[in-house]
Structure 1
Amino acid sequence: MSTFAKLTPRTQRNLGVLFTAGLLFWASLASLLPTLPLYVKSIGAPDDQLGMVMGAFAIGLLLFRPQAGQTADQQGRKIVLLIGISAATLAPVCHLLTQSIPVLMLIRAFHGLSIAAFTTAYSSLVVDLAPPENRGELIGYMSLVNPIGMALGPALGGYLQELTTYAPVFVMSSILGLISMTCAMFVKAPPVMYAPQDQKEKDQFWQLLISDRIRVPTITMLLVGIAFGAIATFVPLYIKDSGVGLNPGLFYTAAAITSFLTRFVAGKASDRYGRGRFITAGLLGYAISMLVLWQATDANQFLLAGAIEGFGGGTFLPIMIALVADRCQPFERGRIFGLFVGGFDLGIALAGPILGLVSNIVGYRSLYLVAACVAFAGLIVFMTLSSKSVADSFRFALGYGKDPYAVSKVG
């Protein structure tokens, strides 16, 4: 934490308030993870409709993500941050107003807006405030809001549901969002930086998407998003169907613990040793966790799969954000983050209906074999296409080469 101590008091305060808001935001969102699939199932939805409801979350992500990035660059990060937290505050209680599948899909799409706005603004703010030479370290520390929130939220939601009914869980989620928004009001965002006139034509959506520096990270995030969708949507149902007697919230808690421990060290190490080897390790962790889920037959194996998935996510996601931050200028950061993380959103959107159909045909167990293949595909894409050539990509992915697309200092 010596790096944090070297920051100015104003920056320390900003990061502290931002961290608290982020922690409460993710706890709010994660408190519904073990509850929502069971709630939708309880109102009579089959697996394919359940997948559609859960996948509709990503529709809001996909529709709003580009606008969130553009607004963050042009109007400032804070307004986008507050929009995201507002959606996270309102959406949970709206689930209690209907049992109609189409209406629940609309509510889920609105809820998806929350992550689109919040993660774009939060990541941009952290990178704005972080010194380039310590970027990976500070992103790693600030991204701890995700595993801590993902540890607290599901445990609270799962146990509250067991003690009461579904309604208090949704109300608790909204209250956590409201406290998060109160904290976010005190964030002091850096001033907006505008693109030079000769750069504006290069910043159009498709020009950014097809650029070498962004295309492969976006494709990799898409494939990881599909694997993550299998975790977020079907694990509670798989655990219940297997009859192992495990609270599904504990799966997410196990993932959050290892994700927390990993993020604490991986970001700083990536500043020193480069991003590639850590992204590769994270992708491998995702793939192995899906294979363990495929073979899981008791509670300990489910918890092991959660722990490995947490290692994968805790390594891959923050270091991939640092990689993309290395590859962009401040005036385009919001749009590029919006586009790049949009690949993850699309993966989640595809995971719900596609994997729901797979589960109807071959069952939950074989679904995770399919997810493992998708995660391995992401690993292959990164290891062969992340640099100027296949050979250079292998070297970079294994930590023996520099990132040719970096525009700022990176270890």
Structure 2
Amino acid sequence: MEKLWSKDYVLNIVGNLLLFVVFYLLMVYTTKLAITEFNVSVSEAGLASGIFIVGALVARLVISRYMDFIGRKRMLIIAVVIHAICTFGYHFIDGMLFLCTLRFVQGMTYGMASTVIATTVASIVPESRRGEGIGYFTLSITLGSAIGPFLGISLPQINPLYALVLCDVLSISLIVLAFILNITEIKVGFRQRVEVKSFRLRTFFEPTATPISIVALLGAIGYSAVMSYIGTYSETIGLLLGGSLFYIAYSIACLIFRPISGVMIDRYGNHVVMVPILFTMILGFVAIALAHSNLVLLLGAVLVGIGYGSIPSAGQTIAVQKVKLNKFSLATSTLYIALDLGNGIGPYILGMVVPIYGFRAVYMCSAIAALLAFLFYIGMIIKSRKENVVM
């Protein structure tokens, strides 16, 4: 069996974990800062938090085209250095305009750095263990999404400065890691040089990665309701215990099933994994929508963790399967743009349902989005079999 756990593989996982801890910690910190210090509405505070994702989307569109021209390591170093400067900038925030500008620029650096790291991991893991390797790698995102919000809520209660100092330290650590990492550079060929001068849609997105990215987009729209509203929802329906333990149950399910789904893709193929996890995601959202007890709400958390929690790793594995090494960055960027876009537009779209039909209807809409993802994937299977192509 080919070796998976190399030094650079581990360092990439650590770097990604640090990046996502800072991302989630500052997301929580920023929202509270905007409301308490600048007396803005919840929606305006949400803008300050969400504009970060807009910056990430802009960066991903650009970086996928120019990463190999600039150099992957050079791009990563540039990203983490500017990221650290932005992190230090939080000590000097004096208004909403400064905050939103800072969040947008830092979102761009996050999009750049995360794309380079994810592309590097997909490039260095052995092809025979790619699903397993990406599965372990994306656990860093899960851990970051659990650790970051916890620190973002708990540290400011002790001293708001502690949260910012920790982010400063983690950002400096990212710079050190960027210099230590050995990153294989891709030699840019003539065709790539011609394509980068074109501004056609296919030069911004990898066509072979688009179908699985659509599945990821629909899943992310559904999951965005969990990220945005699960706390308020659990309070509204009187299930505070289930709401407080929701992310713990979700994270445990991700930690257990992401590596398993990666191994299964390597051994048995895409469909054996994707069909069950998409169906499980549907069941998870339905369980959340119909929950009348803490147990059922936590069951929904576990099912969504198994379902949506496996999509980033399984999706990236599928996205890079049919592309050459020099297209890994574009394929990875295409998937991550879909995930970011879904998480960005989902709360706004699904939030419009709340005043009319209530929170339970939001999660039924999430289930419908998951069902569309399931049906779209089944359509992909049917199409591939007609074309006699193994996906």
**Greater Cα offset, 88-97 or 123-132:** 88-97
Q: What's 1:339 paired with?
A: 334
Question: For the structure 1 residues 211 and 387, does the alpha-carbon distance in structure 2 shift closer, same or farther, using more than 3 Å as the test?
Answer: farther
- After superposition, what is the alpha-carbon deviation per residue over 1:367-405, rounded to whole angstroms, capped at 9, x for unaligned? 22222212221221121135635x659xx9xxxx821xx
Determine if the alignment matches structure 1 residue 59 to structure 2 residue 54: yes
Determine if the alignment matches structure 1 residue 291 to structure 2 residue 286: yes
CA distance in 1, matches of 2:173, 2:33: 25
CA distance in 1, matches of 2:82, 2:355: 32
Determine if the alignment matches structure 1 residue 13 to structure 2 residue 7: yes
Q: 1:212 Cα deviation (Å)?
A: 5.3
Q: What's 1:194 paired with?
A: 188
> Which amino acid in the other structure matches residue 191 of structure 2?
Q
- After superposition, what is the alpha-carbon deviation per residue over 1:304-361, rounded to whole angstroms, capped at 9, x for unaligned? 3332222123322111101111121111221232233212222222123323333344
CA distance in 1, matches of 2:181, 2:238: 46
**Greater Cα offset, 193-202 or 338-347:** 193-202
Q: What's 1:270 paired with?
A: 265
Number of equivalences: 389
Q: 1:270 Cα deviation (Å)?
A: 0.5
Q: 1:48 Cα deviation (Å)?
A: 4.2
> Which amino acid in the other structure matches residue 13 of structure 1?
K
From 306, 312, 322, give the equivalent of 1:311: 306
Contact 2:65 2:204 in 1 (8 A): no
From 65, 70, 78, give the equivalent of 2:73: 78
Q: What's 1:169 paired with?
A: 163
Contact 1:83 1:117 in 2 (8 A): no
- After superposition, what is the alpha-carbon deviation per residue over 1:132-157, rounded to whole angstroms, capped at 9, x for unaligned? 22211221222221223333333333
CA distance in 1, matches of 2:186, 2:14: 23
- After superposition, what is the alpha-carbon deviation per residue over 1:163-198, rounded to whole angstroms, capped at 9, x for unaligned? 436553344334333323322321011122323438
> Which amino acid in the other structure matches residue 16 of structure 2?
G
CA distance in 2, matches of 1:39, 1:351: 24
Contact 1:281 1:316 in 2 (8 A): no
Q: What's 1:234 paired with?
A: 229
CA distance in 1, matches of 2:10, 2:229: 34
Q: 1:89 Cα deviation (Å)?
A: 4.0
Determine if the alignment matches structure 1 residue 31 to structure 2 residue 25: yes
CA distance in 2, matches of 1:357, 1:323: 33
TM-score w.r.t. length of structure 1: 0.81
Unpaired stretches in structure 1, ≥5 consecutive residues: 404-411
Unpaired stretches in structure 2, ≥5 consecutive residues: none
Determine if the alignment matches structure 1 residue 365 to structure 2 residue 365: no
TM-score w.r.t. length of structure 2: 0.84
Contact 2:19 2:110 in 1 (8 A): no
Contact 1:120 1:338 in 2 (8 A): yes
CA distance in 2, matches of 1:372, 1:212: 27
Over the residues paired in the alignment, what is the CA RMSD in angstroms?
Answer: 3.3
Question: For the structure 1 residues 275 and 293, does the alpha-carbon distance in structure 2 shift closer, same or farther, using more than 3 Å as the test?
Answer: same
CA distance in 1, matches of 2:277, 2:235: 28
Q: What's 1:4 paired with?
A: 3
Contact 2:209 2:320 in 1 (8 A): no
Q: 1:280 Cα deviation (Å)?
A: 2.5
CA distance in 2, matches of 1:248, 1:31: 19
Q: 1:65 Cα deviation (Å)?
A: 0.7
Q: What's 1:408 paired with?
A: none
Structure 1 residues 193-272: aligned runs within 5 Å: 193-197=187-191, 200-201=194-195, 205-207=200-202, 213-242=208-237, 244-246=239-241, 250-272=245-267
CA distance in 2, matches of 1:101, 1:242: 34
**Greater Cα offset, 23-32 or 319-328:** 23-32
Contact 2:315 2:335 in 1 (8 A): no
Contact 1:30 1:149 in 2 (8 A): yes
Q: 1:26 Cα deviation (Å)?
A: 2.1
Contact 1:55 1:350 in 2 (8 A): no
Helix, strand or coil for the counterpart of 1:284?
A: helix
Q: What's 2:113 paired with?
A: 118
> Which amino acid in the other structure matches residue 264 of structure 1?
P
Contact 2:277 2:310 in 1 (8 A): yes
CA distance in 2, matches of 1:291, 1:137: 29
Helix, strand or coil for the counterpart of 1:185?
A: helix
CA distance in 2, matches of 1:240, 1:88: 36
Contact 1:193 1:330 in 2 (8 A): no
